[in-house]
Structures are given as structure tokens and as C-alpha cells.
Amino acid sequence: MANSGYLIVHKPSVVLRNFEEGLRERGFIDEYKKFRDAFSKFKPSHYLGISRNPLMGIPEEISSAWDIILEPEAQFFMCVLEQNGLYEDDLILSYDDMVKTFGKIKNINDYDVILIRKESFEINNNLLGFDIGYWGGDHFSLIADTIITPTWHGPPEEDYLELSENFKSLNENLLFRTAEEGEKFKQYYKSKTWAETESYEGEFCIIQVDKVKL
């Protein structure tokens, strides 16, 4: 399994627009506004982590599944990369292949690219911060699901103040400044009865996120 690679993700504005449209359709937008007021110092438009609907490779033969096909040409190409061992868990493994894929996106202004890594961190000038979540799958993020776009395990109101205190070390990108800060929050999160649980020890990864210049 690859320990680093490139994710093509939606920009924060697109993530929030889609999330709020879904809440509005289900009649939950007023509850979300109250939630946002409680965490008003954490601006969801600033979140630059992993939980931003990464583009996934799709085989061309299932092109009728339009609910998961957002950028056909790019997603079909990603599947070709996978067949050649150049793509894994939504990760494009080389910069050149990422650039080729990004060039096939039609709605290019909706997307960003981030470089993520786990286990072997490399602090550099492009560091955005450290997220915590699933390496693959739906790229679930403890940060995003708690205070950005609560989808599966949003916190109860009685924990809002405590959570704000535990998130005070987040940087301007709503990510932890260091892997150690992320690890400390992970242990706190796992102690809560309302939180998502790991299927196996270590499923929640500390993930370095770097910006990518195109």
C-alpha cells in the first residue's frame, strides 16, 4: 500500500455548497446553522484537509453510473492508471500522472490538488497541516466530521465547549500544526461515546497534507 500520493479534491466552497444543499433538501439546515454558531471561530471555508470528496477512478464500462461520475475523462483515465499500478485508494502516485489527470478535468475551477502522506512525514514549505482519518475509503476525517461537515458522528451540544478547547491548536487551515497534536486529539476523540470507532487499531491515521502548485 502506498504511503503517499496526490488527491484531487473539491475546493472548500464546493464542498460546503454540496453539503448545505443536501441538508436543505433533508430539512436540517436550521439545525446546522445553530451548530455553526456554536463553532463560529472555526470557519468551514478554511478547511483544507482530506475530507473533500476526492475524485475517484471509474471504469469506462460503468459510465451509466452518473451519480459517482463527476469528471468522466479524468476518472476513466484514473482507472487506466490503476490498471498499471499508478493509482491506489484515490491516490495518483506520481506528479506527472496527476498533472495529466488534472488536465482532463472540465470544471477545473472546482478542484484543488493536495499531496498526502502517512507514517513518514516530511516537513516542508508547502505543509498545510495534519488531518486525522481514513487513508482510503471515503477519506473520513475526524476534524471534518466533528466541526466542518458533520455527517456520521456529529458531537452532542453538551460537548461543544470541550471540543472547542481541544481544537484550539488548529491552524488557519483547520488542521493540526504537528503530528503530535493530531495524535493527542485522536486519543481524546476515541474516548467519546458518540465518536466513530475504528474497525482495527490504527485505522485512524495521522495524515500530513501539503499544498500542490500546478
Q: Are 48 and 12 in contact (CB under 8 A)?
A: yes
More confident residue, 94 or 69: 94
- Report the distance separating Cα 165 and Cα 31, nearest Å: 22
| 177 pLDDT higher than 80 | yes
Q: Are 115 and 5 in contact (CB under 8 A)?
A: yes
Query: What is the per-residue pLDDT for 170?
Result: 98
What's this model's pTM, rounded to 2 decimal places? 0.95
177 CB neighbour count, 10 Å cutoff:
15
| 66 pLDDT higher than 70 | no
pLDDT in tens, 87-136: 999 999 999 999 999 999 999 999 999 999 999 999 999 999 999 999 99
Q: Three-state SS across 149-192?
A: CCCCCCCCHHHHHHHHHHCCCECCCCCECCHHHHHHHHHHHHCC
Query: What is the per-residue pLDDT for 60?
Result: 82
Average pLDDT over residues 50-70: 83
Helix or strand holding residue 142 (H, E): helix 142-143
| 67 pLDDT higher than 80 | no
**What residue spans of 27-106 are helical by DSSP H?**
29-38, 72-83, 95-102
Q: How confident is the model at residue 64 (pLDDT cuts 50, 70, 90)?
A: low
pLDDT in tens, 132-174: 999 998 899 999 999 999 998 999 999 999 999 999 999 999 9
| 65 pLDDT higher than 70 | no
β-strand partners of 91? 88
Query: What is the per-residue pLDDT for 82?
Result: 95
Which grid cell sits at 36?
455553526
Phi then psi for residue 174, to 5 deg, are: 55, 45
Please give the mean pLDDT across all residues of the chain: 94
| 61 pLDDT higher than 90 | no
- 83: helix, coil or strand? helix
